[in-house]
A and B are shown apart, each in its own frame.
Chain A
Amino acid sequence: MAQPSRRLVLTAAAAGSLTIAGCKGITALGPVPKLGHDVVTLEHAINAEELMVARYRSAVTALAAEIGPGAASVKGKSARAKAEVEGILTEHEAHLERLKARLVLPRRLATARPRPSPAPPPLPSGRHAILAELTAAETTASDRLIRWLTDAPPALAQLMASIAASEAAHVVLLGHPGGHR
């Protein structure tokens, strides 16, 4: 017989403790309740931000590959674009961290609804196409957050508005990597 996995052992131990305590197990607690609308909104925002982070990580890798052998001017532009994209990635990671800090689910709910990590969407090849793809993603994400925040709790609405503003500012940077007025 194969060795039981650590997860199985932990599950068995948890079931044992319930039995010892005189409980009938998790089924006795009834169906897992539905999440509140606020939590669903927050989860949507987290999912969208996870996807954005994944997209930016792919973009950094793709732009790094462009800085290989080639004309110095092309390499310089790709290096500037990569630096800009890396800076924006850091901000998206901060968004994600701040959003996740707001999500506090009871363990039973969290276990009942495991969230898969989003797969990075395929990026087009070439610096211009990558930056255009990121620009479109930022615009869509910013618009969506402003739609979602209308019925979010006040503090979450403020955070979502701030992130939407940050994403719109990223569009400016992606259009002119390393430049300003």
Chain B
Amino acid sequence: MSGTSGTITALQAALAAEQAASYAYGVLGAHLTGQRFAAASADCVAHERARDRLSGMITVRGGQPRPAAAAYQLPIAVHTSAAARSLAVTLERQVAAAYLGLVAVEDPVLRTFAATNMRDCAVRGARWSGRAQAFPGLSRPR
């Protein structure tokens, strides 16, 4: 992807995913206790920080960060601790995929930021699921 407009599109895609994850972690954290609640809180803060950095990156490039929605349709209905953990795994996988476009921009600083965030998502996903993926973020062979 090249040019400012392509870069801002990639930043907006990552921002949208981080906004959704920040919201969803708030929901799923309510169904967890003890160490799991603490882990969810820490992961929520990580997504909020990434969200804020992405907003700043869009602004300095002359773009307008798209605002977060008031609420999001969650991919999993959360009524139990197990469902909350399952949602955390799904979120991390979705956010990792949302950074792929940003890994492909020309700016090496943005590439590194995106790859580092993809990695953080994979690590959090592995902590929640006890499993890794061979190709986090990539849904099909490339």
Spell out A's residues near B (CB within 8 Å): 87-88, 90-91, 94-95, 98, 142, 145-146, 149-151, 154-155, 157-166, 168-173, 176, 178-181
How many residues on the B side are at the interface (Cβ–Cβ under 8 A)?
A: 38
If A162-B118, A165-B122, A168-B122 touch, whether A150 touches B130 (CB-CB below 8 Å) is no
Q: Does B141 contact A (CB under 8 A)?
A: yes
A98–B104 contact, CB under 8 A?
no
- Of B14-22, B57-65, B72-80, B107-115, the one with at least 4 CB within 8 A of chain A: B107-115
Contact with A along B104-142 (1 / 0, CB 8 A): 110010011011101101110111111111111110011
Q: How many Cβ-Cβ contacts under 8 Å join chain A to chain B?
A: 117
Q: Which residues of A contact B114 (CB under 8 A)?
A: 161
Q: Which residues of B contact A179 (CB under 8 A)?
A: 130
State in angstroms the CA–CA spacing of A154 and B112 once bound together.
13
| Shortest Cβ gap from B91 to chain A (Å) | 14
Q: Which residues of A contact B39 (CB under 8 A)?
A: 181
Q: Does B31 contact A (CB under 8 A)?
A: no
Q: Can you list 28 contacts pairing A with B, beta carbon distance less than 8 Å?
A: A87-B132, A90-B134, A94-B134, A142-B119, A146-B115, A146-B116, A150-B111, A154-B105, A155-B104, A158-B138, A161-B100, A161-B111, A161-B114, A162-B100, A162-B118, A162-B136, A165-B118, A165-B136, A166-B122, A166-B132, A169-B122, A169-B123, A173-B126, A178-B130, A180-B128, A180-B129, A181-B39, A181-B130
Residue of B nearest to A102 (CB): B142
State in angstroms the CA–CA spacing of A98 and B112 once bound together.
21
State in angstroms the CA–CA spacing of A21 and B96 once bound together.
54
A181–B85 contact, CB under 8 A?
yes
Residue of A nearest to B85 (CB): A181
Q: Does B103 contact A (CB under 8 A)?
A: yes
Extra pairs beyond A150-B111, A154-B103, A165-B118 (10, CB < 8 Å) = A90-B134, A91-B133, A161-B99, A162-B100, A162-B135, A166-B134, A169-B126, A172-B126, A172-B127, A181-B36
B115–A159 contact, CB under 8 A?
no
